[in-house]
Amino acid sequence: MSIVNSIRSQMAPISPEGYPFIGIFALVSLVLFWLWTPLGWIGTVLTLWCVYFFRDPPRVTPVRDGLVVSPADGRVSLVQLALPPPELGLGAAPLPRVSIFMSVFDCHVNRSPLAGRVERIVYHKGKFLNADLDKASEDNERNALVIATATQRIAVVQIAGLVARRILCFVREGQMLAAGERFGMIRFGSRLDVYLPAGTAPLVAVGQTAIAGETVIADLRADQHAGDMARSYRSA
């Protein structure tokens, strides 16, 4: 019994949204075994991949106010100034944007970048282009959340990709979120964009691997402190 418990403690939990897919993959594998054994083994490998895809490992999120953590596992694909989607009401000026691309091998559970209230949720129909492309932010199907703190607002946008055909959002407008709290997921392969307040300096670089709920992508307090120092210097 202790061996079983030890094995379970080393395995990542499975997101409930994945159980129907895992069941379908497993059933198809059994049928393939009945038809031809080599096909059954291929189905078994795909079933194991499905289990791996829907993993939902626990994460340890930094707790200091002002830290913005990655909402997704994956590769930082873009760090640039960009116009936020107009439906978010964040203005017409470009904002710092960090884009994180999730491959089919990354964990796809999405987590809140910071603690705050879900001010707005907007779903936008669109295409299913490669999520790694810059124009995917404008053309692809997406679901956006505006999260407000006492002093600032940021947006996190779930973007469907070439393979992804389903964006899930677990929260509602007005709901309070803790930093690192699960708020949704995307099936299968996609991207998340985070729009930071004007003047925020991202702390990640293109090509860096991000971990949802753990990797710090910005420090809002540091930027506020820098602005206060600059104003103090000018007034002196």
Residue 25 Cα distances to 21, 51, 82, angstroms:
6, 10, 40
Provide the 8-state DSSP code for 51.
H
Helix, strand, coil percentages in the chain from 3-state DSSP, rounded to 5: 30, 30, 40
Q: What are phi and psi of 75, to 5 degrees?
A: -100, 130
CA atoms within 13 A on the CB side of 215: 20
User: Is 190 an annotated catalytic residue?
Assistant: yes
What is the distance between the alpha carbons of residues 93 and 218, in angstroms, rounded to a whole number? 19
* Alpha carbons 157 and 195: distance in angstroms, whole number: 8
Please name which of 232, 187, 148 lies closest in space to residue 15, comparing C-alpha atoms.
Answer: 187
Catalytic entry in 29, 70, 77, 190: 190
- C-beta of residue 129 within 8 angstroms of C-beta of residue 156: no
Residue 122 Cα to chain centre, angstroms: 16
Q: Which two tokens stand for residue 152?
A: 């600032």
Q: Would you name the residues annotated as active-site residues? A: 190
